[in-house]
């Protein structure tokens, strides 16, 4: 009953019959000559809501048809003339209303060539987050992954993200979790032009889910707030490990009280991952090399509609469908050397994966500028099918039994959320909300092994089906207050999660209930007009992903496999941060976090079978110290951007392991991002980083660096934009090592370098300058699913 009532509130709208009245008039200059190409916008006089917009034709006459009873204002604007507004025009019966405009010239002194200059990305720092505002900046980069590099201190290596020595980064889109998505594909293919701003949430407040021990990246997409109908066509081609391309089209329209938008894209990706592991097993040396190219084909469809019922009421719905298909063959070669003799085993790992994702998100919003209520429902349906064949090729001297895996996964997520915000005067706001999520996951693994007669038979030691049913209920309250030079923000979030997992093969079950309060607090003070200081604290929980809980055994090559751990406990993190800002930009920061029962990927070696395995365990704790300096580059003439350094110390300890694990390391990272306008109005960007090395779990890695360069130029009255990007210019591989217990291994990871992309983007249609803003609806809970390429 509750579900039916909630859905009804979100989806039902009421429409009224339109009166057959018109508002019309002439647009004249001071000599009484008709003017053409004037923008004319019709507003509701009561709340300044833009309803319709037209462009005056050659006869200098505008007309708005089918205007309902009410009070209206008409506005006329044209470059070089002062904007004119009508008196309040009242429509109370079926009739025509006429209002003429006399436009007066508005020529500034010393008016020369008109140059439209795009604003640079604006970076601001608050107690809780760092914000990179891209709304009005000229985007050169073509995808989200490149834009994330604009976040000061964020490193992107081989599609993996890290910040201040931590790689447990979670990504949100409009506040909504994306852990169930194929994130590497998402980062490479989501267009950069769709992004309004990126928030690096370093100290999440009570309004965010408590899940996660590291920073959050919240990507805020642009809303269609322009009157009129317009769209964009894009085509991207490039060369990575092979040729790649992406075609996309989008269209949006905002007329009367209806705001809708739709988009479609198709892409063929190209990527490659190479991994070499050299390790000692007694007197033997195992040299394992894997080369894994893949080229996923992805189709994305999305649409959304907003209906402005009244100046205070808005309802709408958005839908998304994403599907991807990827086939790849990983070549594995293992050379085993003992007493000067070498044996080899060559295998291929043929991997076929298809997945589809459906998301439906209806909402309702009430906003009277004092009170704001948002009701939000989110439904996610994710399905994937995988077939993996690991078989011997060539004339190998080492015996091996071929294996075959079928792994299917299905996830359904229902999320209900209600948020309330009240303005308590000019300097205080109170927020509160409730959220309920229901997640059902079904992971089915069928493992087969080839016998001596060539038939594939069931491997009962590995075949398994794992079901998880998880409910998370949450409620929060948050208060923001400003007094003179002081600002205070305090919040408390309560979450209760109930997780039930069942393993068919192991005949075991996981039944866990966790209920906790999660406080957050921040205090800021303006020291001078330019300098401010703030401190923040947050307490968070990191729940194990569904994939790590699955007790599956999955082989990557004949001697390397991964297995799940259904006994994992959530990790709990206390985090503190201090910031100094100059003119609201970051200047200096220091942070400290301590995580108990941290989820830690450990590599173990079996000296009898010579196999290495990777699994996730709960380590005793992790401590992380981080210090950073930030400086803008605007003091260099013509250059916009920033540079900075981060000093980081990571420490992992556990007395529960044998031998005891106690490892720590300092690292130093330099980063920069800059923009410069070249001759012929060519916009250029460069971003780069260098890190002296660090700890990635057990792996201690060497220095690594990267540089990207991009150029763009507009043609055809700025409707056509041509962009060229050179990516991963520095050819530096990832070198790491593990020396713990009986594991003595060196790792070399490589991926495509010196990639090039060419993008053409063409904009069409009409849009007007007046906008109607609607804030994003509330966050929604999805899940913690992690998928492989």
- The dihedral of CA 253, 259, 265, 271: what is its sign? positive
Residue 546: count other Cβ atoms within 10 Å of its Cβ: 24
Please list, in sequence order, all residues whose beta carbon lies within 8 angstroms of the beta carbon of residue 108, skipping any fewer than 6 positions away: none
Q: How many residues are listed for the chain in this entry?
A: 789
**Per-residue H/E/C for 493-507:** EEEEEEEEEEECCCC
Task: Give residue 680's region: left, alpha or beta (phi > 0; psi -120 to 50).
Answer: left
Q: β-strands 195-201, 39-44: how paired? A: unpaired
Instruction: Please state the domain count of the chain.
Output: 2
What's the whole-number average pLDDT of the chain? 83
Q: Residue 609 contacts by C-beta under 8 Å, 6 or more apart in sequence?
A: none
Cα dihedral angle (688, 691, 694, 699), rounded to 10 degrees? 50
Q: What are 488's two structure tokens?
A: 């205070």
Fill in the DSSP letter of residue 9: H
- Cα–Cα distance measured from residue 334 to residue 750, given in angstroms and rounded to the nearest whole number: 18
Q: Are residues 597 and 463 in the same domain?
A: yes
Write the pLDDT tens digit of every residue in 508-522. Answer: 677 888 899 999 999
Highest mean pLDDT among 4-8, 257-261, 612-616, 666-670: 666-670
* β pairing state of 699-701 and 704-715: unpaired
Say if 773 falls within a structural domain. Answer: no
Q: What is the dihedral of CA 691, 694, 700, 704, to 10 degrees?
A: -10
605 vs 739: CA distance, rounded Å? 11
Q: Residues 6 or more apart from 343 whose CB is under 8 A from it? A: 335, 336, 397, 398
Most confident of 73-87, 144-158, 408-422: 408-422
CB atoms within 10 A of CB 111: 9
pLDDT band, residue 121 (cuts 50/70/90): low
Q: What percent of the chain has pLDDT over 70?
A: 87
Q: Give yes or no for a contact between 580 and 588, defined as CB atoms under 8 angstroms apart.
A: yes
Q: Cis omega (within 30 of 0) on the bond before 659?
A: yes
Nearest to 698 by CA among 785, 604, 761, 570: 604
Over residues 100-113, mean pLDDT? 60
Cα 127 to Cα 524: distance, rounded to the nearest angstrom: 7
183 within some domain: no
Q: What average pLDDT does the segment 90-104 reach?
A: 81
Q: 19 pLDDT band (50/70/90 cuts)?
A: very low
Please determine, for residue 739, whether its predicted confidence score (pLDDT) is greater than 70: yes
Give the whole-angstrom CA distance, residue 403 versus residue 449. Answer: 5
Q: For position 682, which CATH number holds?
A: 2.40.170.20
Q: What H or E segment, with its residue span, contains residue 549? A: helix 546-549
Task: Report yes or no on 693 lying in a domain.
Answer: yes
pLDDT (mean) for 92-115 = 64
- What Rg, from alpha-carbon coordinates, does the chain have? 29
Q: What whole-number distance in Å separates Cα of residue 258 and Cα of residue 305?
A: 7
Cβ proximity of 497 and 513 under 8 Å: yes
* pLDDT at residue number 550: 77
Provide mean pLDDT across the span 732-760. 91
Query: Domain range for residue 48?
Result: 2-103
What distances in angstroms separate CA 339 from CA 279, 335, 343, one per listed residue?
A: 15, 13, 11
Q: Give which of 681, 671, 678, 736 is closest to 708, Cα–Cα.
A: 671
pLDDT band at 304 (very low <50, low <70, confident <90, very high): very high
Which strand (E) or helix (H) includes residue 358? strand 341-367
Select the more confidently predicted residue: 231 or 156: 231
Domain boundary among 57, 74, 103: 103
pLDDT value of position 767: 55
The one-character DSSP state at 754 is: S
Residue 31 burial (C-beta neighbours within 10 Å; 0-12, 13-18, 19+): exposed
Report d(CA 596, CA 600) in Å as an integer: 11
Angstrom distance (rounded) from CA 196 to CA 245 = 24
Cβ burial of 512 (10 Å; 0-12, 13-18, 19+) is: middle
Report percent pLDDT > 90 for the chain. 32
Question: Locate tokens 């866990």: which residue?
Answer: 512
β-strands 755-765, 734-740 pairing: unpaired
Which pLDDT score is estimated for 123?
A: 83
Q: Is residue 483 part of a domain?
A: yes
In a domain, 108, yes or no: no
Name which of 67-71, 541-545, 648-652, 782-786 the model is least confident about.
Answer: 782-786
Together in a domain, 232 and 371? yes
**Boundary residue ending a domain (75, 103, 131):** 103
Compute CA 158 distance to the chain's CA centroid, rounded to the nearest angstrom: 16
| SS3 sequence of 362-403 | EEEEEECCCEEEEEEEEEEEEEEEEEEEEEECCCCCCCCCCE
Closest CA to 528 of 491, 481, 581, 480: 581
Phi, psi (5° rounding) for residue 233?
A: -115, 135
Tens-place pLDDT, residues 232-261: 898 989 988 888 898 989 898 887 788 899
Query: Given a cut of 70, is residue 58 above it in pLDDT?
Result: no
Number of other CB atoms surrounding residue 135 within 10 Å? 12
Query: Can you tell me whether residue 535 is helix, strand or coil?
Result: strand
The pLDDT of residue 592 is 96
Contact 559, 573 (CB under 8 A): no
> Tens of pLDDT along 172-200?
877 776 655 556 666 666 666 677 788 88
Tokens coding 236: 């991207």
Task: Please state, in angstroms and rounded to a whole number, the distance separating the CA atoms of residues 634 and 623.
Answer: 36
Specify whether the backbone of 410 is left (phi greater than 0), alpha (psi in -120 to 50) or beta.
beta
pLDDT for residue 8 is more than 60? no
In a domain, 255, yes or no: yes
Q: Are residues 533 and 387 in the same domain?
A: yes
CA angle 590, 593, 598 (to 5 degrees): 150
Look at residue 478 and tell me if it is in a domain: yes
Residues forming beta bridges with residue 312, ordered by sequence position: none
DSSP assignment of 114-145: ----PPPPEEEE-SSEEEEE-TTS-----BHH
CATH code (residue 6): 2.60.40.10
Residue-wise pLDDT for 769-780, tens only, equals 433 333 333 233
Note whether 124 and 49 are within 8 A (CB): no
pLDDT of res. 190:
66
pLDDT at 59: 73
For 199-244, give the DSSP string: EEESS--TTS-SB-SS-EEEEEEPP--BSEEEEEEEEEEEESSSEE
Q: Has residue 211 been placed in a domain?
A: no
């Amino acid at each position: 009953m509750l579900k039916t009532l909630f859905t009804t509130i979100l989806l039902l709208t009421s429409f009224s019959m339109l009166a057959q009245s018109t508002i019309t008039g002439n647009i004249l200059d001071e000599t009484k000559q008709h003017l053409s190409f004037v923008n004319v916008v019709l507003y509701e006089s009561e709340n300044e809501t833009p309803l319709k917009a037209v462009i005056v034709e050659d006869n200098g006459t505008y007309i708005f048809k089918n205007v309902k009873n009410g009070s209206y204002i008409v506005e006329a604007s044209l470059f070089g003339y002062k904007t004119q507004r009508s008196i309040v025009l009242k429509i109370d019966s079926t009739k025509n209303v006429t209002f003429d405009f006399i436009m007066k010239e508005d020529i500034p002194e010393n008016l020369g060539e008109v140059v439209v200059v795009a604003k640079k990305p604006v970076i601001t720092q608050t107690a809780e987050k760092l914000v990179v505002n891209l709304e009005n900046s000229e985007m050169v980069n073509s995808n989200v992954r490149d834009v994330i590099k604009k976040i000061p201190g964020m490193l992107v290596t081989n599609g993996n993200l890290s910040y201040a020595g931590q790689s447990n980064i979670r990504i949100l889109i409009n506040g909504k979790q994306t852990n169930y998505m194929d994130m590497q594909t998402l980062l490479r293919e989501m267009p950069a032009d769709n992004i309004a701003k990126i928030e690096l949430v370093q100290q999440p407040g009570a309004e965010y889910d408590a899940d996660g021990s590291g920073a959050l990246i919240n990507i805020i997409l642009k809303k269609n707030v322009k009157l009129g109908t317009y769209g964009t066509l894009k085509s991207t081609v490039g060369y990575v490990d092979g040729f790649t391309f992406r075609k996309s089209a989008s269209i949006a329209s905002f007329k009367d009280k209806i705001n809708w938008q739709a988009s479609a894209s198709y892409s063929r990706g190209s990527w490659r991952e190479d991994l070499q592991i050299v390790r000692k097993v007694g007197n033997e040396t195992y040299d394992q090399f894997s080369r894994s190219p893949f080229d996923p084909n992805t189709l994305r469809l999305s649409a959304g509609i907003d209906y402005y019922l009244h100046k205070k009421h808005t309802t709408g719905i958005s839908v998304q469908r994403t599907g991807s298909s990827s086939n790849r063959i990983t070549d594995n070669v293992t050379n085993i050397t003992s007493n000067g003799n070498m044996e080899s085993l060559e295998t291929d790992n043929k991997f076929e994966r298809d997945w589809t994702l459906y998301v439906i998100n209806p909402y309702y919003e009430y906003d009277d500028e004092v009170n704001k209520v948002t009701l939000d429902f989110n439904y996610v349906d994710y399905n994937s099918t995988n077939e993996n064949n690991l078989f011997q090729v060539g004339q190998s001297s080492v015996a091996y039994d071929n294996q075959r895996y079928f792994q299917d996964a299905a996830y359904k997520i229902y999320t209900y959320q209600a948020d309330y915000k009240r303005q308590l005067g000019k300097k205080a706001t109170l927020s509160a909300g409730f959220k309920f999520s229901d997640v059902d996951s079904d992971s089915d693994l069928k493992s087969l092994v080839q016998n001596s007669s060539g038939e594939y038979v069931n491997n009962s030691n590995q075949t398994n089906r794992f079901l998880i049913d998880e409910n998370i209920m949450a409620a929060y309250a948050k208060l923001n207050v400003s007094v003179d030079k002081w600002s205070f923000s305090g919040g408390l979030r309560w979450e209760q999660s109930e997780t039930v997992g069942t393993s068919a093969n192991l005949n075991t079950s996981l039944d866990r209930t966790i209920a906790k309060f999660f406080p957050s607090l921040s205090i800021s003070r303006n020291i001078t007009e330019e300098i401010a200081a703030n401190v923040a604290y947050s307490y968070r929980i990191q729940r194990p992903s569904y994939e790590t809980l699955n007790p599956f055994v999955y082989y990557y090559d004949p001697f390397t496999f991964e297995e799940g751990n259904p006994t994992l406990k959530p990790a709990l993190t206390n985090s503190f941060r201090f910031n100094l800002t100059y003119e609201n930009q970051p200047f200096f920061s220091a942070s400290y976090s301590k995580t108990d029962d941290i989820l830690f990927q450990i590599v173990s070696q079996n000296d009898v079978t010579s196999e290495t395995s990777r699994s996730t365990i709960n380590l005793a704790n992790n401590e992380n110290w981080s210090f950073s300096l930030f400086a803008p580059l605007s003091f260099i003439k013509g250059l916009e951007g920033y540079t900075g350094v981060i000093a980081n110390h990571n420490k992992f300890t556990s007395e529960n392991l044998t031998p005891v694990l106690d490892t720590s390391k300092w690292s130093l990272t330099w980063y920069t991002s800059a923009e410069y306008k070249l001759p012929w109005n060519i916009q250029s960007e460069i971003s780069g980083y260098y890190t002296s090395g660090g700890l990635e779990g057990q792996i201690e890695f060497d220095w690594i660096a990267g540089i990207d360069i991009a150029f763009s130029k507009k043609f055809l009255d700025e409707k056509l934009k041509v962009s060229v990007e050179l990516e991963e210019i520095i050819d530096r591989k990832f070198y790491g090592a593990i020396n713990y217990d009986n594991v003595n291994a060196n790792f070399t990871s490589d991926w495509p370098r010196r990639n090039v992309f060419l993008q053409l983007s063409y904009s069409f249609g009409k849009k007007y300058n007046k906008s109607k803003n609607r804030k994003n609806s509330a966050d929604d809970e999805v899940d913690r699913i992690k998928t492989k390429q």
